[in-house]
Structure 1
Amino acid sequence: MNFRSVAELVELAESEGLSISDVMIQKEMETFDKSRDEVFKQMEENLDIMEKAIQKGLQEEIKSQSGLSGGDAQKIRNYIKESNVLLSGAEVLDAVSRSMSVSEVNAAMGTIVATPTAGACGILPGCVFTAADRLGSDRETMVRALFVSGAIGYCIANNAFISGAAGGCQAEVGSATAMSAAAVVEMAGGTPSQSAEAVAIALKNMLGLVCDPVAGLVEAPCVKRNAMGGAIAMVAADMAMAGVKSVIPTDEVIEAMFRIGRDMPVSLKETALGGLAATQTGRSLERRIFGKSAE
């Protein structure tokens, strides 16, 4: 079960009559010399951690030590319950609230699963649990979705970046959004090719996204970028399921992300030297938190 690109992954799945999750499960078995049950159980434990993070962020009073994040996931959840004007749709906002919840738990030093990084940890659980509610998915389907996301993340990591320090936030939130879109497509009964289209649609709408954490902390704008990543992933999945295709092939979109990240200035790659971190308010918050500016 060897593959390096998304095209190779899709070809392998379709030629063998397998789902992307099947391919990735078998790859994990071969790589780590483990049984299917062992591999599946380990991923199921990750799903359990994700669920606990969602619940913690939505049910408890979460506030980071810096005070930059916390409580916004609950605001969105309350808005869903109380408002008659759901401009984005309840399912999209569900994904948003759950994505923010996990990200806020991360900022408050809670336990999360890096998917693919801690800074982008909320998008996949937010989308998987929302899709499961909408589709009535069982636990096995949800665990399989994580294997789908892992397969896409593997391809991105091998051909571009998943680190904000290397490629900007497009490499973190962008990758997580693409991984989540592919996962939701398989949950909805889509084909491997449709999952690949969802990856391209999601990722190309994140190209150029800079990594500019205020005060160097993974909180602002990270939490709200997780929220928007969750929304984009859900829409990209629907577009792919509707038969919409990316003009640019998936692997070429990933290649473009690599080139953009390579060309991006250092000030916009997790250094807190540019972007939102360098605004007047960003510097003021940095001085309040640490007592002085990094400048």
Structure 2
Amino acid sequence: MNFTSVSELVELAESKGLPISEVMIQKEMEWMDRTRDEVFGQMEENLAIMEKAVQKGLHEEIHSSSGLSGGDAQKIRRYIQESSVLLSGADVLDTVSRSMSVSEVNASMGTIVATPTAGACGVLPGCVFTAANRLRADREAMVRALFVSGAIGYCIANNSFISGAAGGCQAEVGSATAMSAAAVVEMAGGSPSQSAEAVAIALKNMLGLVCDPVAGLVEAPCVKRNAMGGAIAMVAADLAMAGVTSVIPADEVIGAMYRIGRDMPTSLKETALGGLAATQTGREWERRIFGKPEKE
């Protein structure tokens, strides 16, 4: 079960008549020299951690020690329950609230699963738990979705960046968005090719996204970028399931992300030297938290 690109992954899955999740499960068994039960069990534990983080942010009053983040997931949840939301149905906002919940738990030093990084930890659980609710999916389908996301993340990591310091936020939240879109497609019964289309559609809408954390903390704008990543992933999944395809294939989108990240200035790659971190308000927060600016 050897693959390093999305096209190789799809060809392998379709030639063997397997879903992407099964290809990744077998790869993990071979690579880690573990049984199916061991591999699957570890991913079940990851899902349980994600679930706790989703629930904690939605139902407990949590705030980061900096004061930059916290409580927004609950605001969205109340808005869904009490207001006439602008979007038809609440599924997108359910994804947003769950994605923000996990990201806020991370900012408050809670336990999360890095998918692919802590800064992008909210996108995948936000999508998976919303899709499971919508599709009435069982636990196995949810765990398999995590294997799909892992397979896509593996391809991205082999051909581009998954770190904000290396490639900007496109490499973190962008990668998480692509991983989540592919995962949700399989949950909905889509084919490996449709998962690949969802990857391309999702990721190309995140290209160029810079990493500019206010005060150098993974809070602002990170929490809200997790929210938007979740929304984009769900839309990309629906587009792919509807038969919409990307003009540019997934592997070429990943390649474009690599080149953009390579050319991106250092000030926009997790250094807090540019972007939102360098705004007047960003610097005021930095002074408030640390007493004086860390960077000028």
TM-score scaled by structure 2? Answer: 0.99
Counterpart in 2 of 1:252?
Answer: 252
Counterpart in 1 of 2:285?
Answer: 285
Q: Per the alignment, do residues 165 and 95 of structure 1 end up closer, same or farther by CA in structure 2, a change over 3 Å counting?
A: same
For residues 99-138 of structure 1, what are the structure 2 equivalents within 5 Å? Answer: 99-138=99-138
Structure 1 alignment gaps of length 5 or more: none
> Amino acid of the residue matched to residue 175 of structure 2?
S
Contact residue 58 and residue 74 of structure 2 kept, 8 A: yes
Contact residue 79 and residue 85 of structure 2 kept, 8 A: no
For the pair 1:16 / 2:19, whether they are aligned, the reply is: no
> Amino acid of the residue matched to residue 222 of structure 2?
C
CA distance in 1: counterparts of 2:262 and 2:70, whole angstroms:
33
For the pair 1:230 / 2:225, whether they are aligned, the reply is: no
For residues 28-107 of structure 1, what are the structure 2 equivalents within 5 Å? Answer: 28-87=28-87, 89-107=89-107
For residues 157-196 of structure 1, what are the structure 2 equivalents within 5 Å? Answer: 157-196=157-196
Counterpart in 1 of 2:156?
Answer: 156
Structural RMSD (CA): 0.6
Deviation, 1:15, is 0.2
CA distance in 2: counterparts of 1:151 and 1:202, whole angstroms:
16
For the pair 1:199 / 2:199, whether they are aligned, the reply is: yes
Deviation by residue 1:35-61 (Cα, 9 ceiling, x = unmatched): 101100000000000000000000101
The ranges of structure 1 where at least 4 consecutive aligned residues each deviate by more than 6 angstroms after the TM superposition are none
* Structure 1 counterpart SS, 2:162: coil
> Amino acid of the residue matched to residue 150 of structure 2?
G
> Amino acid of the residue matched to residue 61 of structure 1?
E
CA distance in 1: counterparts of 2:163 and 2:122, whole angstroms:
16
> Amino acid of the residue matched to residue 271 of structure 2?
T
Q: Per the alignment, do residues 88 and 174 of structure 1 end up closer, same or farther by CA in structure 2, a change over 3 Å counting?
A: farther
Contact residue 116 and residue 172 of structure 2 kept, 8 A: yes
* Structure 2 counterpart SS, 1:65: coil
Deviation, 1:89, is 3.5
CA distance in 1: counterparts of 2:88 and 2:235, whole angstroms:
11
- Fraction of identical pairs, as percent: 87
TM-score scaled by structure 1? Answer: 0.99
Deviation by residue 1:128-187 (Cα, 9 ceiling, x = unmatched): 000000000000000000000000000000000000000000000000000000000000
Deviation by residue 1:85-120 (Cα, 9 ceiling, x = unmatched): 333640000000000000000000000000000000
Contact residue 80 and residue 86 of structure 1 kept, 8 A: no
Deviation, 1:213, is 0.1
CA distance in 2: counterparts of 1:30 and 1:226, whole angstroms:
32
Deviation, 1:84, is 1.9
CA distance in 2: counterparts of 1:53 and 1:76, whole angstroms:
16
Deviation by residue 1:220-255 (Cα, 9 ceiling, x = unmatched): 000000000000000000000000000001100000
Contact residue 181 and residue 202 of structure 2 kept, 8 A: yes
CA distance in 1: counterparts of 2:133 and 2:124, whole angstroms:
14
* Structure 2 counterpart SS, 1:4: coil
